[in-house]
Amino acid sequence: MDVLWLDQNDVRSLLNIPDAMDAVEKAFEQHGRKKVQMPPKSYLYFERHNGDLRTMPAYLEEQDVAGVKIVNVHPDNRQKGLPTVMALFVLNSTETGAPLAVMDGTYLTDIRTGAAGGIAAKHLARPESRVLGIVGSGNQARTQLLAIANVFDLEVVKVYDVNRARAEQFEQDMESKAGCGITVCSSIEDVCDCDILVTVTPVREPIVKREWIKPGTHINAIGADAAGKEELEASILVHSRVVVDDIAQASHSGEVNVPLSNGVIKVDNICCELGEVIAGIKTGRMGDSDITIFDSTGLAIQDVATALLVYNAAKGKLVGKKLPMF
């Protein structure tokens, strides 16, 4: 029995934002209709190394395919010349349980996370949104921009990073891809003067204040993906329509996790899950003045859907290496 091995160059050659957005949106809809199996991600914490390791399994019933991602988050890796997030994905046959493919999950993670942000903005932001603000300028910021620009006719992108040189590199690399001008801002407050705000930082103390967020803003809160992390002042959540990717997972590792544990908000304050909005079961934005928040923790269904897309494309284009299992 052979297993298909796809390295990062293979995955990059086979995966793009528009196709990933389509696959991930369908996976979210299935999640909203309870057509998936997906336990919350599990964590191993390496405090001495300021990092963690996570396992993320899921089963998509309609596609009849399953898989698991093993992924780390080590913020200090940047100083070591390594990605802060690295991942490996295994796609499995549900008929036999055998692995169909093993592939790089690092680029896959970047793309599927960006895809989810674009989908959330599509369903929750005001259709006439033209100004995008981004706090943080790493890999996740890049794919968020690409996905949102795939949905909205952006006129300007504002970006802030604690490392201004990194933000300026982001401007240089992404301006042509964004299709509009990118402005490097000197403060987070300046960035928050926007229609859609994306936060993609690893902070554990809020950096976005309530008074900076104007009515009608949509926020993609991407950075909080583990217990104790939060990017937004809790009062923002109190006065917003909060949509999570998965309530069970977000409750212990999303933007809502700290306000929930502190009693600032309750689970009842969470509007719904994104899949329910996509499926037409629940309503996200009620009016133009609503502040909406998408709390993204990253779901295993996103990985399975995207990996299946890559696997099928690889078979069709004869990309990758077949490795013997036995």
Domain boundaries, the chain: 2-108+301-324, 124-298
pLDDT tens, position by position, 253-303: 999 999 999 999 999 999 999 999 999 999 999 999 999 999 999 999 999
pLDDT of residue 258: 97
pLDDT of residue 225: 87
Catalytic residue IDs: 69
pLDDT of residue 19: 98
Hey, what CATH topology would domain 124-298 get?
Rossmann fold (3.40.50)
pLDDT of residue 222: 97
How many alpha carbons fall within 13 Å on the CB side of residue 199? 32
**pLDDT < 50 stretches in the chain:** none
pLDDT of residue 226: 85
Nearest CA-CA partner of 240 in 291, 189, 303: 291
Residue 267: count of CB within 10 angstroms of its CB: 12
For domain 2-108+301-324, the CATH class is alpha beta
What's the CA angle centered on 81, arms 309 and 117, to 5 degrees? 40
Prediction pTM value? 0.95
Question: What is the rounded distance in angstroms from the CA atom of residue 163 to the CA atom of residue 181?
Answer: 20
Q: What are phi and psi of 278, to 5 degrees?
A: -65, -40
Q: Using an 8 Å Cβ cutoff, are 264 and 20 in contact?
A: no
Q: Under the phi-then-psi rule, with left for phi > 0, alpha for psi from -120 to 50, and beta for the rest, what region is 292?
A: beta
Question: What is the rounded distance in angstroms from the CA atom of residue 70 to the CA atom of residue 163?
Answer: 29
Question: What is the rounded distance in angstroms from the CA atom of residue 26 to the CA atom of residue 20?
Answer: 10
